[in-house]
Chain A
Amino acid sequence: MAQCYDIEYLRELARQSRIDVIKMLEAAKSGHPGGSLSEIEILVALYGHVMKHDNDNINMKDRDRFVLSKGHGIPGLYAVMANLDYWPREDLLSLRTVNSRFQGHPDRVRLPGLEASTGSLGQGLSIAIGYALASKLDNDAYRVYCVIGDGESQEGQIWEAALSAPKFKLDNLVCILDYNKGQIDGFVKDVMPLEPIADKWKAFGWHVIKVDGHDIDELIRAFEEAASIKGKPTFILADTVKGKGVSFMEGLIDWHGVAPNKEEAEQALKELGA
């Protein structure tokens, strides 16, 4: 059932989205580059190929739903959706300024097109489960995708949600962990270790798939596998690099929540081929 896609187009979408993230954060002088760059291929695979959605009809009844539970990664989603013509790319530069639709964390009321307001960590997966239950009530009208963070997985509500989705046999739900291994105070393994992550989600009753979170082909295959699984939700453990795509940001905790200055942004954009 695999559908054709143009991998070069998707890679270009990822590259352009990274460029937009850097430009946005430089303009805003604040924000979260690390987690916005680590999630890009996940978002590109979903919005660029896997999900059923329509930028000309954002309220399309049976559109697939996407919830960015790790709300601080929102610049990545703003950028990907801008590149898919949800909103003008130049508007992105109003990020984090007064009266902007592009809030520091997702606001579904100010920015129609987003499916959830998040930012207080741990809440988005529950909202995604609500969407998935509603879809089931409406005869499996659509599929639901939710990206969570690894630091976020220290929240208790994530595990309440993890317990509940298998109970309701939500095979229309996919939770993707952007496993970039860093959080504000340090490495996840030092702040509050999560391993063995895959074993935990398996034990909770999820179908678990491990992928390279920067390999779009692998991600798409995982989403196709998830769609074929019946009777249980799927958890995709996406191995990612914090700050991916910018050499001096990759893997460094210091870039969790600090924006690049003009010189840093110039270098980052050069590396990204802007």
Chain B
Amino acid sequence: MATTATRKSFGQVLLELGGKDENIVVLDADLSKSTMSKMFADKYPGRFFEMGISEANMIGVGSGLALAGKKPFICSFACFVTGRYDTIRISVAYSEAPVRIVGTHAGIGIGEDGNSQMGLEDLGLMRGLPHMTVIQPADDIETRQAVTWMAENDVPSYIRLTRQNVKDVNGPDYTFKIGKAVELVPGSDITIMATGGPVYHAVDAAGLLKKQGISAGVVNIHTIKPIDVEAINKYAKLTGHVITVEDHNTIGGLGSAVAEVLAESGAGKLNRHGLKDAFGESGTYQDLYKKYRLDAEGIVSVVKEIFDK
């Protein structure tokens, strides 16, 4: 099965979109080689603006370009771009400026660079903004279609992408629908709701759990906002128990979004798995996913703890 970093899928599809729509402009803050916006920059230098290490200004310039009718994609690491929160709040969300915000290097999956480079609170930040659509794709084909959706829709949006390679979880006939969760594995005992980098680990975990007699379904939540209320309630009722899995703080991210839905509906029980009110640290991606139990074995152990109680 093919693996790719979703930031790379982003860079490739942005290049393709650039050839189809000359209103697309791209801004980066000295990380174009890492965010992969460089592919666009090399092909369309007249529509690429290197803003230097000045994220707040990049966000504001993106706002002006958007209000003038362009389709700006502004790119940096998730932590750096969403760290300039007030500028996004006023110049993008409140202004209803259709800026496409791209945050790469999501979560502990970035590895050795450590916590200061890890976006671990960005989903919570972006989810809290009125008018903001928040997307986190799980694989190559989903990223391509999600980025295309962003290009085609004139609304403020945020997409969160991985540094590390992720395995495909969707087939070649996959169709991305904004705001609609995707069932990847059917299950009857518990539903794992995952997003982003850990999704394929969740699929692998479901396979391991099956061998141990636990029928765990896996649902990929690629749109964090608007959250798919209907699907969350449906799967919660179906299996009675939901566990969210994300490479993000459990406060503010997918776990919180699902908790809000289930608290209001009472459709099922919930456990949240991810970074538990904690910062990240240095290490290889594999070692970190093992330590924080975001790989398949880790997810299996977390699910089994729920059943053992």
Contacts and interface: CB of A to CB of B under 8 A. Distances in A.
Interface of A: 65, 67, 107-109, 115-120, 122-135, 137, 156-157, 160-161, 163-164, 168
B96 A109 contact: yes
A164 B95 contact: no
Closest 5 CB pairs of A and B: A130-B64, A126-B60, A134-B68, A160-B57, A160-B54
A125 B59 CA distance: 11
19 contacts: A109-B95, A116-B67, A120-B90, A123-B56, A123-B60, A126-B56, A127-B95, A129-B57, A129-B61, A131-B64, A131-B65, A131-B67, A133-B49, A133-B61, A137-B46, A163-B52, A163-B57, A164-B57, A164-B61
A124 B97 CA distance: 13
Contact of B60 (A108, A137, A161): A161
B30 to A, nearest CB: 12
A126 B64 CA distance: 7
Most buried by A among B68, B91, B95: B68
B51 interface: yes
B25 A157 contact: no
Interface string B44-88: 001101011010110111111111111010000000000000110
B91 A126 contact: yes
Q: Give the interface size class of chain B.
A: 20 to 34
Contacts of A116: 63-64, 67, 91, 95
B60 A127 contact: yes
A123 B93 CA distance: 13
B94 A117 contact: yes
Q: Which of A109, A115, A123 has the most CB of B within 10 A?
A: A123
B54 to A, nearest CB: 4
A120 B61 contact: no
Contacts of A117: 90-91, 94-95
B91 A123 contact: yes
B89 interface: yes
Contact of B52 (A128, A133, A134, A164): A164
Interface string B89-106: 111001110000000000
Contacts of B59: 126
A59 B100 CA distance: 23
Contacts of B69: 134
A62 B189 CA distance: 61
B49 A157 contact: no
A123 B65 contact: no
Contacts of A67: 64
Contacts of A124: 60
Interface string B225-263: 000000000000000000000000000000000000000
Nearest to A136: B46
A118 B64 CA distance: 12
Given A126-B87, A161-B57, A163-B54, 12 more contacts: A116-B63, A116-B95, A119-B90, A120-B86, A123-B87, A123-B90, A124-B60, A129-B60, A130-B60, A130-B67, A134-B69, A164-B61
